[in-house]
Chain A
Amino acid sequence: MRWPSRAAEGVRAYRLIAGMWIRSTMTYRASFALTVCGNLVLTGLDFVAILLMFSQVDALGGWTLPEVALLYGLSVTAFGIAHLAFGSMASLGGRVRDGSFDTLLVRPAPVLAQVAADRFALRRLGRGVQGAGVLGWALVAADVDWTVAKVLLVPLTLVCGAVIFGSLFVAGGAFQFLAQDAAEVQNAFTYGGTTLLQYPPTVFGRDLVRGVTFVLPLAFVNWVPAAHLLGRPYPLGLPDGAAFAAPLVALVCAVPAGAVWRIGLRSYRSTGS
């Protein structure tokens, strides 16, 4: 099958399966409401920690509270979207271990879509909603010299950020074909990544920033575009339009992630483990 039609097949299967999980969840309405609230509170604690820090200082690494909130909002909203869509990749190892992964391979739908939609949890909306709330406040409170390009940069950044995080989830899922018990390694990159990006790049060592910009380009989720929005110099002195290169960076993440997934799946089908 050619690529576009396969992608369409995947989206279709994803919607079908996710829909079933949503209806399953809705059979326990009270529990669902409770876990959504719990999710809001739990993910919001990260921002509370930032607020607590700013109750003691006026700036962190030279960035003020609204500026850090902008970083936080962009990072958490993008992560929230990716986590909602691909968060289930983390349970792939369990499915491989208990053998139920095989049931996905006998269905006429792309396996990646089936795994990503597996146990689709609407409660994960809590994180994105909370992040979007902080982002909304930050966009108003931060000192931004708004232009049309800057306005457009915000949604563009969110979408590309979600793709970058989504690629991490997919690559992490593929890794579990090799090491079924090592799902937590993925957390270091996904949760670790979104936590890292909540703080200004000026806080971190130069090598770390370089790695996060050029090797694993998480910096395009928020550091680079936020620096552009706020008119701050990016610590590594990137060229002017760098913030608008996010789609390119997202592509550079998504393509290898897809390749790694195919390699992982092929290795599973030839080894059965």
Chain B
Amino acid sequence: MGSWRVYPAVAAGAFRRYATYRAATAAGVFTNTVFGLILVYTYLALWEARPGLGGYDQAQAVTYVWLGQALLAMLAVQGGGFETELMERIRTGEIAVDLYRPVDLQLWWLANDVGRAVFQLLGRGVVPFLFGALFFPAALPGEAAVWGAFLVSLLLAVLVSFAIRYLFALSVFWLLDGQGVAQAVMVTGVFCSGMTLPLNAFPGGLGEVVRALPWAAQLQVPADVLMGETAVPAAYLFQAAWAVALLAAGRLVQSAATRRVVVQGG
């Protein structure tokens, strides 16, 4: 195991790498804002036809939209985080080199993804969120403690998001093609995270299922923490349980994959 200091350095490196793409970041902010606008209007119509849907009032539904646009890039809901690079390394076999490095593979990529996530939150998340809060009704808490609780929930969301994509990426060891996997990341991410519709508003049995899946820990739970729609300890427990379970599963799959690489001789 390498020195622990390597991981903050990796995270800082990832942060800086994303920070160099200024034009891309600006373009992303613009796109997120436009999509936010479209969704806000449809949600307003939906909540007007069905007040209190999913336990939200109109202001909460609108806040949910802007939160989703703010976190979309940070949580790589549609993919496009570290996993693209990891899958490519697995596909080309370069991963064998990584396995002999004196750093922990999972932690290394986690640090990388955390660096990216922090940048995306600041670079791409803040502006659309402020735009939404300024020009549309918003349901934001006044107490700092709630914002603090929200940030912790966000951190857990980053862990879960990483763990999900890590598992998807490792599947390339067996599937050998990353394109289908990237699509699967996108489909599940967009649908099960509640990017199109809050999971609270999903009907009946389907709703119960998606609200229990790990993707719920990404957007739905932090949103509910921020808007006071859930008990904070229960929310943390839900997120942490999925984070631990998925990260552990990632470890198991990783060691199986490592054995496979070693057996194949790289």
Contacts and interface: CB of A to CB of B under 8 A. Distances in A.
A touches B in complex, CB < 8 A: yes
Interface string A13-49: 0000000000000000001001100110110011011
Contacts of B191: 45, 48
B31 A203 contact: no
Contacts of B202: 52
Contact of A188 (B23, B35, B201): B35
A60 B183 CA distance: 30
B45 A42 contact: no
Contacts of A58: 49
A57 B183 contact: no
Given A188-B30, A196-B38, A45 B190 contact: yes
Contacts of B179: 31, 34-35
Nearest to A175: B27
A126 to B, nearest CB: 11
Q: Helix, strand, loop or mixed for chain B's interface?
A: helix
Interface stretch (A81-89, A134-142, A156-164, A179-187): A179-187
Contacts of A182: 23-24, 26-27
Interface size class of B (residues with CB under 8 A): 35 or more
Contacts of A49: 196-197
Interface residues of A, number: 40
Nearest to B37: A208
Interface string B196-208: 1100011100000
A268 B30 CA distance: 25
B203 A208 contact: no
A238 interface: no
B186 interface: yes
B178 to A, nearest CB: 10
A223 to B, nearest CB: 14
Contact of B187 (A41, A180, A185, A189): A41
Interface string B1-34: 0000000000000000000011110111011001
Nearest to A32: B179
Contact of B45 (A31, A189, A192, A199): A199
Contacts of A5: none
Contact of A185 (B27, B50, B203): B27
A199 B40 CA distance: 12
Contacts of A273: none
B49 A199 contact: no
B59 to A, nearest CB: 17
A195 B35 contact: yes
B213 interface: no
30 contacts: A35-B179, A38-B187, A42-B187, A46-B196, A48-B191, A49-B197, A52-B196, A52-B197, A53-B46, A56-B46, A56-B50, A56-B53, A57-B46, A57-B49, A60-B42, A179-B23, A181-B27, A182-B24, A183-B27, A184-B28, A185-B27, A185-B31, A188-B30, A192-B34, A192-B38, A195-B38, A199-B38, A199-B42, A200-B45, A208-B37
Given A31-B179, A42-B186, A188-B31, 15 more contacts: A31-B177, A31-B180, A42-B190, A45-B190, A52-B201, A55-B203, A56-B201, A57-B46, A58-B49, A60-B45, A60-B46, A179-B23, A182-B26, A192-B38, A199-B45
